């Protein structure tokens, strides 16, 4: 937390920047109020970098456009119905929004947009006091009607209005509480937490797309674990991601197993650490984090109490992959993300057979082929899935995976394993067998791919001989 003086100095420097000063002068010349609002002001006090420039004004969307057009390199009005105009001014992207006073009608899944009349009114309708801060321009007056600076100092999240009113206006703010708690490392104050629990069913009024976006933002924070806990403890996760609270399996005195819920949170933590340490993915990586959080969601459905105090979860990888696909579709994730996450969950146990006995080169090739373009993510997820406190066991698994990665690298160098293909393509298969296009071509292709995976490169002539021998022995029925 910066001192107030240091924060005001940062804000003064920001206000003097070409983008902010140009906007401030233009709105003042047009006779309108304008203020820098929300995140940029908050982050000045927290000593965090400023990524977005958001402004609020008494000007209507049409009036904003009239002010912005002469000074912007480009502008857009995709958010015009909600009072927001975007523009690029002096090389930076900005958003300018008319004072707001929106609320839900209790039935609609979208807010009813009502334009406000004053800056204080706009700020008191915002989500949290730490975001309800503004800097009036160009005179650099700090506006804090709800005690946001005190809450920044105390590291507390609190709503400017009574939480029942604030969450009633927009129930998505309950998910935002979890996200900001994780992002800023702040505690949600008691009354706000109680309101989240009491009003959890109201999240059903929010569209799946908005829920998806907020959950994604939470997972993409540096340390999402605390935010996920808050969603589970408040009952919100039961409404938006019920597979996570379902991981809190009861452990009886006779059948013992690892706490699956805590294990999953630890895997998420460790996956983030590996993601950053390995440096081979653009970080933060949503697919890695979704797969880590969801990798064991098949366990509740597959849990069996076996004789001798053993608990089994047979095929929880396959069941979990199907459940993840279903949940992510319900949340309107894109198909690439859905397929990648479900594939990682389906494969996350594959490695543990490696420690039972040496894999052949064929098995290593199949591991790489099945992972496809998700191989690096599978490396991360598999390593993160080791949460045992037994140091010797953890080291054994770590060394085994080191060995597997070395073998993958060696095979890749020798034969470009990532692009394994049969030595004959579809056209060559049809020519060799004298057949026309049809399902049998695919059958022959798969036969040659198995040969390639099992034996490595054998050359086109040898592959053709193997194909003809297979064809001669094949039962047409």
| pLDDT for the residue 254 | 41
| pLDDT for the residue 214 | 98
Of 25-34, 73-82, 413-422, least confident by mean pLDDT is 413-422
The structure's pTM equals: 0.82
- Closest by CA to 467, choosing from 431, 419, 437, 438, is 431
Residue, of 442 and 250, whose pLDDT is higher: 442
Residue, of 307 and 34, whose pLDDT is higher: 34
Calculate the CA dihedral of residues 448, 451, 452, 456 and round it to 10 degrees.
Answer: -160
Phi then psi for 134, rounded to 5 degrees?
-145, 155
First and final C-alpha spacing in the chain: 75
Mean predicted lDDT score pLDDT of the chain:
90
Domains and CATH numbers, the chain: 1-151 (3.30.460.10), 155-241 (1.10.110.30), 245-419 (1.10.3210), 426-473 (no CATH)
Tell me the residue length of the chain. Answer: 477
Question: What string of DSSP letters covers 263-317?
Answer: HHHHHHHHHHHHHHHH--S-SS-HHHHHHHHHTTTTHHHH-EEETTTEEE-TTHH
Average confidence (pLDDT) over 183-195? 96
Average confidence (pLDDT) over 439-458? 87
Average confidence (pLDDT) over 3-31? 92
**pLDDT, tens digit, for every residue of 337-350?**
999 999 999 999 98
Cα-to-chain-centroid distance, residue 304: 32
| pLDDT for the residue 342 | 98
Coil, helix or strand for 384?
A: helix
For the cut 50, the answer to whether the pLDDT of residue 253 exceeds it is: no
- Closest by CA to 102, choosing from 168, 189, 176, is 168
**Cβ–Cβ < 8 Å for 63, 80:** no
Of 254-258, 263-267, 279-283, 414-418, least confident by mean pLDDT is 254-258
- What is the spatial distance between Cα 343 and Cα 321, in angstroms, rounded to a whole number? 7
- What is the spatial distance between Cα 272 and Cα 288, in angstroms, rounded to a whole number? 8
For the cut 80, the answer to whether the pLDDT of residue 374 exceeds it is: yes
Angle between helices 460-473 and 439-455 (to 10 degrees): 120
- What is the spatial distance between Cα 118 and Cα 121, in angstroms, rounded to a whole number? 5
Coil, helix or strand for 388?
A: coil
| pLDDT for the residue 421 | 80
Average confidence (pLDDT) over 429-436? 90
**pLDDT, tens digit, for every residue of 259-297?**
899 999 999 999 999 999 999 998 899 999 999 999 999
Reported as a pLDDT band with limits 50, 70 and 90, residue 124 is: very high
The residues facing 97 across adjacent strands are 56, 84
- What is the spatial distance between Cα 261 and Cα 173, in angstroms, rounded to a whole number? 25
Average confidence (pLDDT) over 232-244? 97
Residue, of 440 and 250, whose pLDDT is higher: 440
Average confidence (pLDDT) over 339-368? 87
In Å, the largest CA–CA distance within the chain is 88
The residues facing 141 across adjacent strands are 136
Residue, of 50 and 476, whose pLDDT is higher: 50
**pLDDT, tens digit, for every residue of 379-403?**
999 999 999 888 888 888 888 889 8
| pLDDT for the residue 396 | 85
| pLDDT for the residue 105 | 58
């Amino acid at each position: 937390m910066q001192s107030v003086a240091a924060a005001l100095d940062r804000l003064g420097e920001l206000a003097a920047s070409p983008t902010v000063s140009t906007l401030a002068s233009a709105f003042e010349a047009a006779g309108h109020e304008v203020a820098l609002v929300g995140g940029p002001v908050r982050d000045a006090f927290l000593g965090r970098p400023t990524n977005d420039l958001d402004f609020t004004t008494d000007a209507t969307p049409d009036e904003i456009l009239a002010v912005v057009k002469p000074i912007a390199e480009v502008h857009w009005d995709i958010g015009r119905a909600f009072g927001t105009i975007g523009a690029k001014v002096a090389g930076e992207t900005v958003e300018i929004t008319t004072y707001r006073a929106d609320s839900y009608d209790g039935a609609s899944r979208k807010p009813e947009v009502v334009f406000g009349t004053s800056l204080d009114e706009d700020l008191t309708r915002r989500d949290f006091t730490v975001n309800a801060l503004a800097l009036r321009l160009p005179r650099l007056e700090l506006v804090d009607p709800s005690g946001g600076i005190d809450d920044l100092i105390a590291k507390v999240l609190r709503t400017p209005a009574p939480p029942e009113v604030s969450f009633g206006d927009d129930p998505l703010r309950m998910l935002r509480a979890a996200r900001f708690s994780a992002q800023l490392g702040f505690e949600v104050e008691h009354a706000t937490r109680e309101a989240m629990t009491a009003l959890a069913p109201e999240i059903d009024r929010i569209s799946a797309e908005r829920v998806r976006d907020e959950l994604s933002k939470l997972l993409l924070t540096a340390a999402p674990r605390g935010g996920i806990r808050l969603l589970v403890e408040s009952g919100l996760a039961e409404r938006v991601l019920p597979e996570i609270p379902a991981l809190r399996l009861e452990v009886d005195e006779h059948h013992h197993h690892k706490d699956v819920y805590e294990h999953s949170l630890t895997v998420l933590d460790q996956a983030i650490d590996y993601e950053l340490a390995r440096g081979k993915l653009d970080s933060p990586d949503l697919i890695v984090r979704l797969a880590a959080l969801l990798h064991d969601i098949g366990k509740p459905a597959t849990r069996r109490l076996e004789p001798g105090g053993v608990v089994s979860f047979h095929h929880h990888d396959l069941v979990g992959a199907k459940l993840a696909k279903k949940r992510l579709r319900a949340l309107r994730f894109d198909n690439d993300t859905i397929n990648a996450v479900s594939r990682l969950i389906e494969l996350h146990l594959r490695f543990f057979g490696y420690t039972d006995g040496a894999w052949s080169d064929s098995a290593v090739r199949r591991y790489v082929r099945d992972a496809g373009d998700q191989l690096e993510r599978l490396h991360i997820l598999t390593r993160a899935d080791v949460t045992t406190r037994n140091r010797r066991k953890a080291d054994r698994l770590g060394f085994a995976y080191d060995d597997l990665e070395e073998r993958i690298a060696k095979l890749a160098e020798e034969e470009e394993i990532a692009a394994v293909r049969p030595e004959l393509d579809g056209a060559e298969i049809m020519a060799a067998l004298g057949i026309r296009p049809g399902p049998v071509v695919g059958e022959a292709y798969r036969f040659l791919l198995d040969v390639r995976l099992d034996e490595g490169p054998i050359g086109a002539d040898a592959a053709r001989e193997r194909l003809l021998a297979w064809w001669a022995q094949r039962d047409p029925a």
